[in-house]
A and B are shown apart, each in its own frame.
Chain A
Amino acid sequence: MRPGFRAAMTWLHDWTGILTGWVLLAIVLSGTLSVFRSEINVWMRPELAGRTADPVRATIAAIDWLHDHAPRSPAWYLTAANPRAPFTWAVWQQPDGPFVQHALDPASGAPDTIRDTLGGEFFYRFHFELQIPYPFGRLVAAVAAMALVLALVTGIVAHRRFFADFFTFRPHKGQRSWLDAHNLLGVTVLPFHLVIAFSGAVTLASLLLPWGILSAYRGAPAQFQDALSPAMAARPATGTPGTLAPMEPILHEAARRFGPDGIGQIYVYNPGDAAATLIAIGGNGRHVGFDSHVLRFDGTTGRILADYREHRPMISTFATLYGLHVARFAPPLTRWLYFVCGLLLAAVIASGLRLRTLRRRRQGKSTEAVERLNAGMIAGIPVAFAGYFLANRLLPATLPDRAGHEVQAVFTLWGLMLVLAAALPSATGWRVLSVLAMLALGGVAGFSAPWLNGIDQGAAIVAILLAAGFGYAASRRPAPGGRAR
């Protein structure tokens, strides 16, 4: 290998990290939290603590409620209750266009008894949409995922002493310590980093490389969707009013055919029309691959129109990669490992950002502005995300558009943290923001009281450990050369 190649890879690694590091950090942290999406859903809806739900009964209740309150909606999308999330998550389109989403009570099917919050769905959507309108947010996430793949591959080439430094971490040595931490956290969990980055890029690949689809389907994306998921196609509405068939036999038949996978999702298209279609999708909790078993019913008669299992090799490969990314299959131990490895990936990105400023400072270049922004992002994002949990407990339960206010709290706090970091000298900014992160996370641990169930205990433990980490960071006194004492 020519020495110039390694230097070029190092340059590419640095610049990829600099240009996408902040966005990647937000994406990785929200993705890490999404691993516990269902548990966050329950934490943020304390009304549901300790409740259990029968998925068939809860879905029937939800459909009955939607039948009464959203009869003219073109479609209802329901995620069935399961042992991790004892409620039905419903998204439906209003006749005039906008979508509404609510958790529905498993017994009554109404949203009134459960506080209005997006719960873990916020982190899940933010992870790949960044709260930016379609398709721009997804495009940014897709580019960031590709950049992460590139940064990892170039990092492998750039890291000269891959195996010699495998067990090396030399603390309190300034830039050397940050480099050791960056290498150690990057190399030891490299398979996870590579799989998550690659599968994330593949998941959004159609946005990055749309030309194949455009050329094959000649600008008819609906045909592509039909080819991708043949059983999911809805029949066009006839305009003739119709009545939905009784749901209980349909859902029991679906549950019987899905077996131990259970019912995952139910879509009802054109519910008030004679051509109503009901799609039942099997759960994915028992397979790595996201390969769906789909049943299509005639909504008015309950007759099965299709019983489809995906076996096409390319789609199964995609489904396996997607399944590895979203980790729905993961049993509790593996889910915790995903969470820990996600935090480690965030630490790799943060240490890389810090390393870059330290290296430039040693070269005598000014890094103050970037250092302040680093503080605003690296310590600011945890403050903002912790603020989401705090807003959930502090906002009145009956506040109108409560879910929207919770999301606003995240971005208001994040903006404030960035302003604060920009206004303070970087060393002070790091310390102040670390203290704020520690307090916010301590608040999350406090609001998890009385720690009676596993979710509250898990949330409190994670929050306390992260708060301790930020507390430790705040206690360090950076020396002029960037070397902590």
Chain B
Amino acid sequence: MAAVAILGELAGALLLALGNARGGHALLRRPVPPARRRLARNAGFCLLGAALWGLIRAEGDLLFALTAWALSSGSACILAALACTMRDRAPVRPTPRQTVTGPLS
């Protein structure tokens, strides 16, 4: 259960990154409209909340769970930031429009 909760936190942190102007641009390689960013952010917060609920169930103690949640969600945000960095630095693959020639172009 704790492992699932932490995976949920990682996914939540990635959604929060997607909901961030700079993070979203890095992950999707294009600007994300504000409405979608808001949606991603809300989904991220929901996942983080669900992860906390999972940790409370796994640990059986609110304070234990809150401590673990605060520590692991911070680490998950750092991993999400590193994912944004790596994605941002990866070479851009040419789009089909750039590669396909002939009648379709």
Q: Which of A163, A288, A341 contacts B74 (CB under 8 A)?
A: A341
A169 to B81 Cα, complex, angstroms: 7
A324 to B23 Cα, complex, angstroms: 32
Q: Which of B21, B23, B64 contacts A334 (CB under 8 A)?
A: B64
Q: Mask for A314-355, Cβ within 8 A of B = 1, else 0?
A: 000000000010000111011001101100100000000000
B89 touching A171 by the CB < 8 A rule?
A: yes
B78 touching A166 by the CB < 8 A rule?
A: no
B74 touching A190 by the CB < 8 A rule?
A: yes
Answer yes or no: A454 CB below 8 A from chain B CBs: no
B68 touching A334 by the CB < 8 A rule?
A: yes
Within 8 A of B (CB), among A147-163: 163
Q: In the assembled complex, which residues on chain B have CB atoms less than 8 Å from the CB atom of A165? A: 22
A192 touching B74 by the CB < 8 A rule?
A: yes
Interface size class of B (residues with CB under 8 A): 20 to 34
Q: In the assembled complex, which residues on chain A have CB atoms less than 8 Å from the CB atom of B77? A: 166-167, 188
Q: In the assembled complex, which residues on chain A have CB atoms less than 8 Å from the CB atom of B2? A: 333
Answer yes or no: B20 CB below 8 A from chain A CBs: yes
Answer yes or no: B4 CB below 8 A from chain A CBs: no
A297 to B71 Cα, complex, angstroms: 41
Closest to B22 in A: A168
A164 touching B71 by the CB < 8 A rule?
A: no
B85 touching A337 by the CB < 8 A rule?
A: no
Answer yes or no: A189 CB below 8 A from chain B CBs: yes
Answer yes or no: A244 CB below 8 A from chain B CBs: no
Q: Mask for B69-103, Cβ within 8 A of A = 1, else 0?
A: 01110110110111011000100000000000000
Q: Which of B67, B71, B78 contacts A185 (CB under 8 A)?
A: B78
A173 CB to closest chain B CB (Å) equals 11
Mostly, the B contact residues are helix
A240 CB to closest chain B CB (Å) equals 48
Q: Which of A185, A192, A331 contacts B59 (CB under 8 A)?
A: A331
Interface size class of A (residues with CB under 8 A): 20 to 34
Known pairs A331-B64, A333-B2; A164 contacts B20 (CB<8 A): yes
Closest to B70 in A: A191
Q: In the assembled complex, which residues on chain B have CB atoms less than 8 Å from the CB atom of A168? A: 22-23, 81, 84
Q: In the assembled complex, which residues on chain A have CB atoms less than 8 Å from the CB atom of B20? A: 163-164, 166-167
Q: In the assembled complex, which residues on chain B have CB atoms less than 8 Å from the CB atom of A288? A: 61, 63-64, 67
Answer yes or no: B52 CB below 8 A from chain A CBs: no
B29 CB to closest chain A CB (Å) equals 15
Answer yes or no: B10 CB below 8 A from chain A CBs: no
Q: Mask for A180-212, Cβ within 8 A of B = 1, else 0?
A: 000011001111100000000000000000000
B85 touching A170 by the CB < 8 A rule?
A: yes
Q: Which of A167, A170, A171, A337 contacts B71 (CB under 8 A)?
A: A337
A333 to B85 Cα, complex, angstroms: 27
B78 CB to closest chain A CB (Å) equals 5
Known pairs A184-B78, A188-B77, A288-B64; A334 contacts B85 (CB<8 A): no
Closest to B27 in A: A167
Q: In the assembled complex, which residues on chain A have CB atoms less than 8 Å from the CB atom of B47? A: none
Answer yes or no: B17 CB below 8 A from chain A CBs: yes
B74 touching A188 by the CB < 8 A rule?
A: yes
B82 touching A169 by the CB < 8 A rule?
A: yes
A341 touching B59 by the CB < 8 A rule?
A: no
Known pairs A166-B23, A331-B64; A184 contacts B70 (CB<8 A): no
A17 to B20 Cα, complex, angstroms: 29
Closest to B74 in A: A189
Q: In the assembled complex, which residues on chain A have CB atoms less than 8 Å from the CB atom of B81? A: 166-169, 184, 188
A156 CB to closest chain B CB (Å) equals 15
A340 to B70 Cα, complex, angstroms: 13
Q: In the assembled complex, which residues on chain A have CB atoms less than 8 Å from the CB atom of B26? A: 167
A167 to B46 Cα, complex, angstroms: 19
B77 CB to closest chain A CB (Å) equals 4
A331 to B72 Cα, complex, angstroms: 13
A167 touching B68 by the CB < 8 A rule?
A: no
Closest to B71 in A: A337
A138 CB to closest chain B CB (Å) equals 26
B6 CB to closest chain A CB (Å) equals 8
A167 touching B23 by the CB < 8 A rule?
A: yes
Q: In the assembled complex, which residues on chain A have CB atoms less than 8 Å from the CB atom of B72? A: 337
Closest to A330 in B: B67
Of B84, B85, B89, the most chain A CB neighbours within 10 A belong to B85
Q: In the assembled complex, which residues on chain A have CB atoms less than 8 Å from the CB atom of B75? A: 188-189, 337, 340-341, 344
A171 touching B85 by the CB < 8 A rule?
A: yes
B84 CB to closest chain A CB (Å) equals 5
Smallest CB-CB A-B distances: 7 pairs: A167-B23, A337-B71, A189-B74, A188-B77, A167-B17, A167-B81, A288-B63
Instruction: Beyond A337-B71, A338-B71, list 15 extra A-B contacts (CB 8 Å).
Output: A164-B20, A164-B22, A166-B77, A168-B23, A168-B84, A169-B84, A189-B71, A192-B71, A192-B74, A288-B67, A330-B67, A334-B68, A334-B71, A337-B68, A341-B71
Q: List 7 A-B contacts (CB under 8 A).
A: A163-B20, A167-B22, A167-B23, A167-B84, A169-B82, A334-B64, A337-B68
